[in-house]
Structure 1
Amino acid sequence: MESIAIFVDVQNVYYTTRQAFGRRFDYNALWAKLSQSYRIDIARAYAISSTDPKQRQFHHILRGIGFNVQLKPFIQRLDGSAKGDWDVGLALDVYETANSVDRIVLISGDGDFQVLVERIQQRFNTKVTVAGVRSLTANNLIQAADDYIEIDSDLLIGQ
């Protein structure tokens, strides 16, 4: 079995599944799907910390599934704008992990990750699978990946 490292851009997954389907992503279904074909060596979910009890419960659920949850504070700027982005931290972790597994599984539709995908393929000869909502995943990211998993009703909670 190939060894994999899973990296989830939680904010991207939340907003894209909500926008496209009005439903939530099923992390248990993802884990079950991937563990049928791969040995999961590393699983990290990148999220924004919160004092909201539902968000904290969600983070505990992710941990219970097997994810190492990485939290970053939500920053409210003086001008009213907000920042809560994990892109750089996620990219660094992927890059530092890429040489220790056979495949990286990146759960995000963010086209900014195209350069990361291409770099780890070239430098480490590590395969990359991208998963995302088809209509909201950047085409350049899909094309750069070795494989693509479309998030559809099989990976969503509810009807």
Structure 2
Amino acid sequence: MEQPQYLERIGLFIDGANVYAAAKRLGWNFDHRKILEHFASMGRLYNAFYYTAVPTPVDDKQKRFIDALTYMGYTVRTRTLRENTDEHGDTHRRANLDIEIVTDLLTTAGLYDTAVLLTGDGDFERPVEALRLRGKRVVVASIPEMTSYELRNAADEYVDLKDIRASVERPGYRLPSEGGTGNRSEGRFEPRPFYVSSALDSEDDG
């Protein structure tokens, strides 16, 4: 009797602010349903997590966006935006969800074989190394100009989102390209964890 083929268990983890920043850099938008389907095709999807910041109170567009992601099958993690004033006296609204991402990566590691991490943030280098020490395969997906060298080097595989554009683009929802913006420290890109009130909100109608 032929044994059933083992399907690799996939865990998908999406840094929403980082992915939106990549979309702005590229000038075209992502379809989150297509992203889910594309990476789920690698095996058997265990779960898909999406991390995003939210204002207080949550506005209607953001609520619809979160509801749409949940309907697609994502587990959505949120953190409330907080205002910070920089050394120049400028006020920014920020929320950092790194802790939530790392917590889910590590606490659910027994439920997946491969973690697909959509971010380019170098802060995830050590968690990725820890997962590989536990025998997990880690795939990082982003765009090269927004991916730290250390994170890319730590992963088992790197996927350039430009290479899978045909599979993950949302046609008709283009964004103005930013060109080359971002923070750099010691030659490494540091994505800023700003709130996304994005054109991604249009996901709720598809």
TM-score by length of 2: 0.71
Provide the C-alpha distance between the structure 1 equivalents of 2:124 and 2:104, rounded to a whole number of angstroms.
13
In structure 2, stretches of 5+ residues that fail to align are: 1-6, 173-206
Query: Among 28, 35, 47, which residue is 1:23 paired with?
Result: 28
- Count of residue pairs the alignment pairs up: 157
For residue 118 of structure 1, what is the aligned residue in structure 2? 129
Residue 92 of structure 1 corresponds to which residue in structure 2?
103
Describe the SS at the equivalent of 1:77. strand
Deviations for 1:99-147, whole angstroms, at most 9, x for unmatched residues?
321111111111111111011111x111101111222111221121111
Q: Point out the structure with max Rg over C-alpha.
A: 2
- Percent pairwise identity: 27
Point out the structure with the larger helix share.
1
Cα offset, 1:28, TM superposition: 1.4
Equivalent position of 2:77 in the other structure: 70
Superposition deviation, residue 81 in structure 1: 3.2
1:29 is paired with a residue of what secondary structure?
Answer: helix
Q: How does 1:44-63 map to 2 (within 5 A)?
A: 44-50=49-55, 51-63=58-70
- String of CA shifts for 1:55-99, please: whole Å, max 9, x gaps: 222111211111011111111136623321101121121111123
The gaps in structure 1 that reach 5 residues or longer are: none
Q: Which residue of 1 aligns with 2:3?
A: none
Q: Does 1:131 align with 2:141?
A: yes
| SS of structure 1 residue aligned to 2:41 | helix
Q: Which residue number in structure 1 is paired with residue 11 of structure 2?
A: 5
In 2, Cα distance between equivalents of 1:54 and 1:81: 20
Secondary structure, aligned partner of 2:115:
strand
CA contact (8 A) 2:50 2:76 kept: yes
Partner SS for 1:37: coil
Given that residues 17 and 133 in structure 1 are in contact (C-alpha distance below 8 angstroms), is that contact kept between their aligned partners in structure 2? no
Q: Residues 120 and 143 of structure 2 are in contact (CA less than 8 Å); yes or no, is this contact kept in structure 1?
A: yes
- Work out the CA distance in 2 between the residues paired with 1:36 and 1:100: 17
Distance, in Å, in 2 between the alignment partners of 1:36 and 1:4 is 9
- TM-score (norm: length of structure 1): 0.90
Aligned CA-pair RMSD? 1.6
